[in-house]
Amino acid sequence: MRRLSLAPILAVLAIALAGVAPAAAQTTQPPPPKCANGSCQDPLFTVDYPANQDFVTAHGVETHMPVQFYDSRLFLLFGTGDLGFLQKLAAGSGWRPLRTQDGRGVVAIDVNDWADTNIGQYQELVLVFPVSPAAEPATTVDYSKNPYELVGSSVDSANKVMSVKLIVDDQVAIDVGRDYYHLDKTPVPQRISSDISTARAKFNVADEQGRQVLSGDFPIDNSPVALAGGYGQLGSTSGMQKWFAQTAVRGAIGAFDYVFRDVADPTSILKAHAAGRPFMTPDQTSLGVAGPDAKFSVRPVSDFGKLVYQTAFRPKLGIVFLGGHWVLAPGGWAPPTEPGTVAP
């Protein structure tokens, strides 16, 4: 009897299946950065923190880490909050919030317009508060005579900044934040608009359903006399004096050290630091205390809104940084000197 060969049948079947088999997943890439004024050539990006780590997001976008911020408009709104609630947020972390002389805690909301990065343009708001080691004596911040002590305590090298929650208007930035850095970013893009200048900072946030979450309008007296007074008060704080000294050692690169709960495992506390140049020319920064025309409102209609609402945030002062260059480096705090710099 003639034996039937299966080879031709298998060959035909393979060709047929190839026509219906799913194609390999395709990746996309973020839009190329603008790199205005050669900002991408800053040694911060090319020497200190090169983006040489390949990372593909959950939505198939191919990126290169760490995130490099080539141009930015930042408004840092400092104030006070309910100490008891902040203690709950920090419970079990090994850190505790700073106490103010009037029995509250130090809190800040960062409004970040990242105008040009290696993962695209996006905006975000971040809820943070400075913390000190829980095993050491409690730190008290007296801002009764100098409101800028709220800032000084936040940048003091003896303390760290605890990042609680971030909302973002771009999915790529959300995926990178959650999956690469393990930051607690709300998974769905929010509706964020901001208008930040040295004379006024305005922002407005709505959730994915269009519900108003929070808004702010913060006029700043950026006259030379007013700014000189504000910088004088800020520079007189011991925390800022330490920060300036460390920035000089780092080759004019400033740093902010963060602690935060791992979004994948909230029992795990992670470290990171932002390193960069807050502004490139003196006219790109301003600051001021909250005056009678300053406005801030929050509604507890989203996770972020509920957190800010429960924090009972009271704005006290704001700082604007325009045009800065930054990098967010995971895995630890800022070294005494940046990798590409030499201490004097």
Would you list the domain boundaries of the chain? 36-330
Instruction: Give tens-digit pLDDT for 38-65.
Output: 899 999 999 999 999 999 999 999 999 9
Could you read off the pLDDT of 241-252 as tens digits, one per residue? 999 999 999 989
Note whether 38 and 72 are within 8 A (CB). Answer: no
Name the least confident of 23-37, 104-118, 129-143, 225-239. Answer: 23-37
Cβ atoms of 234 and 136 closer than 8 Å:
no
Q: 30 vs 15, 102, 299, CA distance in Å?
A: 36, 47, 33
Residue 341 pLDDT: 67
Beta-carbon contacts of residue 102 (< 8 Å; ≥ 6 apart) = 80, 144
Q: Is the pLDDT of residue 342 over 80?
A: no
Asked if the model's pLDDT at residue 22 lies above 80, the reply is: no
Q: Which runs of E-coded beta strand occur in 211-333? A: 212-219, 254-262, 265-277, 285-289, 295-298, 314-322, 325-330
HSE of 343 in the Cβ direction (CA atoms, 13 Å)?
A: 6
Cβ-contact 138, 132 below 8 angstroms: yes
How far apart, in whole angstroms, are the C-alpha atoms of residue 227 and residue 286? 7
Q: At 339, is the pLDDT very low, low, confident or very high (cuts 50, 70, 90)?
A: confident
- Record: fold of 36-330: Acetoacetate decarboxylase-like (2.40.400)
Which of these, 291, 125, 292, lies nearest to 213 by C-alpha position? 125
Whole-prediction pTM value? Answer: 0.91
Residue 14 has pLDDT above 50, yes or no: no
